Structure 1
Amino acid sequence: MYLFLRLSNFLFVWIILGISSSVFGQNSPLIEGVVVDVTDSSPLIGANVYWEDDVSSGVVTDLDGKFRLSKRNLPARIVVSYVGYEKSIRTISQNESEKEIKFFLKPLEMSLDEIIIQERRPDEQIKNLSMGKASVPMETIKNIPALFGEVDLLRSLQLLPGVQTAGEGTTGLFVRGGSADQNLVQVDGAPVFNPSHFFGFFSVFSPDALDNVDLYKGNMPANYGGRLSSLIDVSLKEGNNQQIHGQGGIGSISSRLMLDGPLFSEKSTFAISARRTYADVFLRLSNNEDVKNNKLNFHDLSAKLSFLIGDKDKLTFSSYEGSDFLGLDEQFGLGWRNWVSSGHWSHTISENSFFDLEAYHSNYKYKVEFEEPNTGFYWNNRLSESGLKGQWTWINSDRIQSYWGFHSQYYHFAPILLDPAEDSAIESITTNPKNGVLNSGFIGMTAAITPRLSTEIGLRMGLYTQVGKGVDYLYQDDIPDDTNNITDSVRYGNFEPIRFYHGLEPRVAFRYLVNEEFSIKAAYNRNFQYVQIASNSSAGLPIDRWILAGKYIAPLRSDQVSLGFFKNFDSDRWEFSVEGYAKNFKNVIDLKNGASVLFTDQVETELLAGDGYSYGMEFLLRKNVGKTTGWLAYTYSRTWREIEGISLGEKYNPRYDRPHDVTLVLNHEFSPSWSAGLTFVYTTGQAVTFPVGIYESDNQIVPVYPDYRNQDRFPDYHRMDASVTWKNPNKGRKWRGSWNFSVYNLYGRKNPFAYEFREIYNDQINYDPDVDGPIVSEKQGVVMTYLFTFLPSITYNFQF
Structure 2
Amino acid sequence: MNLFSTLSLSQLFVVFFTVNLFSAYESMAQGPANLEGQVFDSGSGEPLLGATVFWTSQPTRGTITDENGFFSLEIDSLPNVLNIRFLGYEPISRPVNEKAEFKSNKFFLSPEEMNLSEVVVSERKQDYNVKSTAIGKNEISGAELKRIPALFGEVDLLRSIQLLPGVNTAGEGTTGLFVRGGSSDQNLIQIDGAPIYNPSHFFGFFSVFNPDAISDVALYKGNIPANFGGRASSLVDISLREGNTQKLKGEGGIGSISSRITLDGPLFSEDASFLVSARRTYADVFLGFSSNESIRENQLYFYDLSGKLMWRNGEKDKFTFSTYYGSDFLGLSEQFGLGWNNWINSFNWDRQINERMFLDVTAYYSFYKYKITVTDEDNGFDWSNYFSESGGKATFNYVPNENIDLKFGLHSQLYYFARVDLEFADSENLEPFESSTRVGFQNSFFIAGNAELTNNLSVEAGLRWSAYQQIGDGVNYLYENDDPTIDGVVSDTLNYSFGERMKFYEGLEPRLALRYLISDDLALKGSFNRNFQYIQVASNSSAGLPIDRWIPAGKYIDPIRSDQVSVGVFKNLYDNKWELSLEGYYRDFRNIIDLKQDANVLFKDNVETEILAGDGWAYGLEFLLRKNIGKTTGWLSYTWSRVYRQIEGINQGLPYNPRFDRPHDLSLVLTHELSDRLSLSGTFLYTTGVAVTFPVGSYVVDNQRIPLYDAYRNNSRFPDYHRMDLSLTLKNKDKGRWWKGSWNFSIYNLYGRKNPFSYEFRDIENNDINFDSGEGIAVTSQRPGVVMTYLFGILPSVTYNFNF
The alignment's TM-score, normalised by the length of structure 2, stands at: 0.95
Q: What value does the CA root-mean-square deviation take over the aligned residues?
A: 2.1
Counterpart pick for 2:587 among 558, 583, 586: 583
Instruction: Determine the structure 1 residue equivalent to 2:194.
Output: 190
Counterpart for residue 477 of structure 2: 473
Deviates more, 1:747-756 or 1:232-241: 232-241
> How far 1:26 sits from its partner (Å)?
9.0
Cα pair 2:484 2:609 within 8 Å, conserved: yes
1:527-546 matches, within 5 Å, as 527-546=531-550
Are 1:27 and 1:397, in contact at CA under 8 Å, matched by a contact in 2? Answer: no
Classify 1:199/1:420 alpha carbon distance in 2 versus 1 (closer, same or farther; 3 Å): same
Report SS of the residue matched to 1:181.
helix
Q: Write the distance in 2 (CA, Å) between the matches of 1:413 and 1:265.
A: 42
**1:691 partner amino acid:** P
Which is further off, 77-86 or 333-342? 77-86
CA distance in 1, matches of 2:704, 2:429: 22
- The amino acid across from 2:523 in the alignment is S
Partner of 2:322: 318
Structure 1 residue 704: Cα displacement: 1.6
Q: Pick one of 417, 425, 443 that aligns with 2:447.
A: 443
The amino acid of 2:684's aligned partner reads F
Alignment partner of 1:515 is 2:519: yes
Whichever residue aligns with residue 436 of structure 1, its letter is G
1:181 is aligned to 185
1:221 aligned residue: 225
Alignment of 1:228-243 (within 5 A): 228-243=232-247
Is 1:416 aligned to residue 420 of structure 2? Answer: yes
SS state at 1:430 partner: coil
Match of 2:608 among 604, 610, 622: 604
Q: Provide the C-alpha distance between the structure 2 equivalents of 1:70 and 1:777, rounded to a whole number of angstroms.
A: 86
Residue 405 of structure 1 aligns with an amino acid whose one-letter code is: G
Report SS of the residue matched to 1:691.
coil
1:136 aligns with 2:140: yes
Which whole-Å deviations, capped at 9, do the CAs of 1:364-383 have from their partners, x for residues lacking one?
00011111111110000001
Partner of 1:247: 251
The structure 1 residue matched to 2:619, chosen from 608, 615, 618, is: 615
Q: Secondary structure at the match of 1:267?
A: strand
Counterpart among 488, 498, 506 of residue 494 in structure 1: 498
1:774 aligns with 2:755: no
| One-letter amino acid matched to 2:346 | S
Q: Provide the C-alpha distance between the structure 2 equivalents of 1:699 and 1:425, rounded to a whole number of angstroms.
A: 28
Match of 2:753 among 749, 754, 758: 749
Cα distance in 2 for partners of 1:542, 1:678 equals 31
Compared CA separation, residues 410 and 731, structure 1 to 2 (3 A): farther
Helix, strand or coil at the partner of 1:147: coil
Establish whether residue 305 from structure 1 lines up as the match of residue 326 from structure 2.
no
Contact 1:250 1:795 in 2 (8 A): yes
Could you tell me which of 503, 508, 525 is aligned with 1:504?
Answer: 508
Post-superposition shift, 1:288?
A: 2.9
Distance 1:97 1:706 in 2: 76
The one-letter amino acid paired with 1:743 is I
Task: Rate the CA distance shift 1:394–1:27 in 2: closer, same or farther, 3 A.
Answer: farther
What corresponds to 1:432 in structure 2? Answer: 436
**C-alpha distance in structure 2 between counterparts of 1:699 and 1:424, whole Å:** 31
Question: Displacement of 1:422 after TM fit?
Answer: 4.1
How far apart, in 1, do the equivalents of 2:579 and 2:627 lie? Answer: 6
- The answer as to whether partners of 1:28 and 1:397 remain within 8 angstroms in 2 is no
603-612 vs 280-289, which moves further: 280-289
- Tell me the SS of whatever aligns to 2:152: helix
Preserved contact between residue 57 and residue 76 of structure 2 (Cα < 8 Å): no
Q: Does the 8 A contact of 1:675 with 1:724 survive in 2?
A: yes
**2-structure distance, mates of 1:221, 1:38:** 32
Counterpart Cα distance in 2 of 1:731 and 1:490? 74
Per-residue deviation, residues 670-693 of structure 1 (Å, max 9, x unmatched): 000000000000000000010101
Contact 1:367 1:379 in 2 (8 A): yes
**Residue 539 to residue 484, structure 1, CA distance change in 2 (3 Å):** closer
Q: State percent identity of aligned pairs.
A: 56
Which whole-Å deviations, capped at 9, do the CAs of 1:540-592 have from their partners, x for residues lacking one?
Answer: 00000100000000000000000010011111111110000000000000001
1:218 aligned counterpart, secondary structure: coil
1-structure distance, mates of 2:209, 2:525 = 32
Contact 2:88–2:116, Cα closer than 8 Å, also in 1: no
8 A Cα contact 1:112 1:672, kept in partner: no
Bigger shift: 551-560 or 265-274? 265-274
Residue 240 of structure 1: how far off its partner (Å): 1.4
Deviation at 1:484, TM superposition (A): 4.6
User: Which residue identity does 2:377 align to in structure 1?
Assistant: P
Q: Distance in 2 between matches of 1:289 and 1:485?
A: 48
Q: Which residue identity lines up with residue 58 of structure 1 in the other structure?
A: G
Q: Name the structure 1 match of 2:556.
A: 552
Picking from 463, 466, 485, the partner of 2:467 is 463
The one-letter code sitting in structure 2 at the alignment partner of 1:61 is T
Deviations 1:89-119 (A, max 9, x none): 1111121132222111122121567413633
Moved more, 748-757 or 428-437: 428-437
Check conservation: 1:31, 1:68, Cα contact below 8 A: yes
Paired with 1:28 and 1:515, the residues of 2 have a C-alpha distance of 31
Which residues in structure 2 correspond to 1:44-59 (within 5 Å)?
44-59=48-63
Do structure 1's residue 67 and structure 2's residue 71 form an aligned pair? yes
Tell me, yes or no, if the aligned pair for 2:361 and 2:394 is still in contact at 8 Å.
Answer: yes
Larger mean CA deviation between 691-700 and 239-248 belongs to 691-700
Q: Which residue of 2 aligns with 1:208?
A: 212
Which 10-residue stretch deviates more, 276-285 or 27-36? 27-36
Cα distance in 2 between the residues matched to 1:680 and 1:158 = 12
Question: Which residue identity lines up with residue 463 of structure 1 in the other structure?
Answer: A
CA deviation string 1:724-761 (max 9, x = no partner): 00013638431110100000000000000000000101
What is the distance in 1 between the residues matched to 2:362 and 2:453? Answer: 32
2:97 corresponds, among 85, 90, 93, to 93
Residues 374 and 424 of structure 1 are in contact (CA less than 8 Å); yes or no, is this contact kept in structure 2? no
Would you identify which runs of 4 or more consecutive aligned residues in structure 1 move more than 6 Å? 1-4
Residue 82 (structure 2) aligned to one of 65, 69, 78: 78
What code does the residue aligned with 1:631 have?
W
Residue of structure 2 in register with 1:276 after alignment: 280
Secondary structure of 1:367's counterpart equals strand
C-alpha separation between the residues in 1 aligned to 2:488 and 2:683?
54
| Contact kept? 1:222, 1:442, Cα under 8 Å | yes
1:363 aligns with 2:382: no
Given candidates 380, 402, 407, the residue that maps to 1:403 is 407
Q: Distance in 2 between matches of 1:236 and 1:569?
A: 32
**1:764 matched to which residue of 2?**
768
State yes or no: 1:726 paired with 2:734.
no
Aligned: 1:660 with 2:664: yes
Structure 1 gaps, min length 5 = 15-24
Rounded to whole Å, the distance in 2 between the matches of 1:574 and 1:666 is 13
Alpha-carbon separation, structure 2, partners of 1:29 and 1:155: 47
SS across alignment from 1:290: helix
Residues 87 and 121 of structure 2 are in contact (CA less than 8 Å); yes or no, is this contact kept in structure 1?
no
Structure 1 CA distance for aligned equivalents of residues 599 and 31 of structure 2: 60
Among 626, 634, 638, the alignment partner of 1:634 is 638
For residues 388 and 119 of structure 1, do their structure 2 counterparts lie closer, same or farther at Cα, with a shift above 3 Å needed?
closer
Distance 2:681 2:162 in 1: 16
Does the aligned pair in 2 maintain the 1:112–1:669 contact within 8 Å? no
The reply on whether 1:735 has 2:739 as its aligned counterpart is: yes
Q: 1:283 Cα deviation (Å)?
A: 1.6
> Would the aligned equivalents of 2:33 and 2:101 in 1 still touch at CA under 8 Å?
no
TM-score, normalised with respect to structure 1: 0.96
AA matched with 1:720: M
Instruction: Check conservation: 1:219, 1:509, Cα contact below 8 A.
Output: yes
Contact 2:456/2:518 (8 A) holds in 1? yes
1:117 touches 1:629 (CA, 8 Å); kept in 2?
no
Residue matched to 2:23? none
How many aligned positions are there? 787
How far off is 1:481 after superposition?
Answer: 1.5
Deviations 1:585-620 (A, max 9, x none): 000000011111111111001011011100000000
SS in structure 2 opposite 1:97? Answer: helix
